[in-house]
Homo-oligomer: A and B are copies of this chain.
Amino acid sequence: MSINANEKNELTVGDIGEVELIKRILPMLRQPEGRIVLGAGDDAAVLAPLDGKPVITVDTMSQGVHFDLAYTSPADLGHRLFAANLSDIAAMGAKPVAAVISLALPGDTPVSFVEGLYDGFRELSERFDVAVVGGDIVGSGDGITATLTLIGEAGENLLTRSGCRTGDLLLLTGEIGLSEAGLQNLTGNVELPGELGAAADKHHLRPAPRLGIGRILTDNGLATACIDTSDSLAISLHHLSEMSRVGFVVDADALPVSAALIDAERQLAEDGRHPDYNPTGYALYAGEDFELLFTSPPENVDRIIKLVNETDISISVIGETVVPERGITLLRDGRETAINAHGFAHF
C-alpha cells in the first residue's frame, strides 16, 4: 500500500531533504556517555574499545514483504527491525553495544513516518542500553527498505549453532505460533477474542528479544547450542541439526503451542481454509516468534529452569537430541513423523 503522503498533505522527506531529515533524527538517537568516542555526524562512528569479541548481525525489512503499513505503525516497524537484530545477539549469548541504521525511502515518505520509525528504535535502544551511532538515509525508487546492523560483544562462552550433542535436551523459551496468530488477527483472516487477540497482535508487532536468557546461558555455561526461532521452529531445528550434525525428537505434547494460535487454527479449519485442524503442525512452521531454542546436557536443566523462572519468561523442555541418522521428527501418539524445513520463504 502507498503511504498516501500527498493525500494527507503531510510534510515529506522530499520536501525537507536529507540534511534537514538527519537534523531532526539526531536528537532521537541514544548515544550513551563513555561508550561512544565519536557518534553520528562524521565519516564513521567510533566506539570505545570493546571488552570482548565483536559480534555483528544485520537484518533488512522491505515494504510489502516484511511489513504492511495497513496494520504496522512506523514505531512497530522500528521495534520489529531492532528486535530481530537483538534476538540474533541474544541467540549468541552476547551483549548488544551499538547500532547503525540505513533507510532507503521514496521521496513522498512523510517525515512523521521516519520519526515514528526512530521512536520504535529508541524504545529498544533505551531498554537494552544500545547506542545508535549513525546510519545512512538515501532515496529509493519505490518502497521503503530499512536495514539495521548491530554490534555486540561476546565473552568467553559463545552460544553457536554447532555445539549440540546426542543426549542433550532441547529447550524453548515462550510459546510458539503467537506471532503467526497475531499476523492472522491483524490481517483480519481470523478474529481472536479480546485479550487473546491483543497479546498476539503485540507479540507480532513488538516482539521481545530474549537477551536476558541468552546471558543466563552463557554466563553460567549452561547450553551447548542455541538459535532463535525467527524463521520457524522447524527451520531452526534444521539449522541446529545441520551445524551440529545431530537429529532431534520433538515431543508434541510438550510443545508450548500458544492459545491464540489454537484459536486461529480452529477458525481457519472450521470453514475449510486449512484442510485439517492441526495447531501443533501449524505452530511448527510459523515464523517470527523470536524465541530461543537451545540444547543442554540433562544435568543442567533444573538449574536453567530455576534461573529462567526468576525472569517472567516461560521455558519448556520440548524434546531431545539424537543421532543424525534419525533425522528430525515429531513424536505424537507414539509415532514419529518427519519435521520438514518449512517456514517463511523470502522469494
Contacts and interface: CB of A to CB of B under 8 A. Distances in A.
A324 interface: no
A61 interface: yes
B143 A42 contact: no
Contacts of A100: 56-58, 149
Contact of A62 (B38, B42, B140, B158): B140
Interface in A24-81: 37-38, 41-50, 52-66
Nearest to A14: B347
A141 interface: yes
B141 A65 contact: yes
Contacts of A104: 60, 62, 65, 145
B143 A346 contact: no
Contacts of A64: 141
A251 B271 CA distance: 78
B57 A139 contact: no
Contacts of A151: 54, 56, 151
Given A104-B62, A138-B346, A145-B140, A46 B38 contact: no
Contacts of A136: 58-60, 147
Interface string A71-95: 0000000000000000111011010
A138 B63 contact: no
Contacts of A222: none
Contacts of A88: 43-44
A18 interface: yes
Interface in A196-254: 226-228, 243
A61 B138 contact: yes
Binding site of A, secondary structure by majority: helix, strand, loop or mixed? strand
B17 A91 contact: no
Interface in A155-185: 158, 160-162
Contacts of A297: none
Contact of A227 (B13, B43, B46, B92): B43
Given A54-B47, A61-B138, A42 B102 contact: no
B57 A47 contact: no
Contact of A55 (B46, B59, B102, B143): B46
A43 B91 contact: yes
B243 A42 contact: yes
A58 to B, nearest CB: 5
Contacts of A243: 41-42
A13, A44, A63, most chain B CB atoms within 10 A? A44
A155 to B, nearest CB: 11
Interface of A: 12-14, 17-18, 37-38, 41-50, 52-66, 87-89, 91-92, 94, 98, 100-105, 107, 133-143, 145, 147, 149-152, 154, 158, 160-162, 226-228, 243, 345-347
Given A37-B53, A43-B227, 12 more contacts: A18-B347, A44-B57, A47-B56, A48-B53, A49-B53, A49-B54, A54-B151, A56-B134, A65-B138, A65-B139, A140-B143, A141-B143
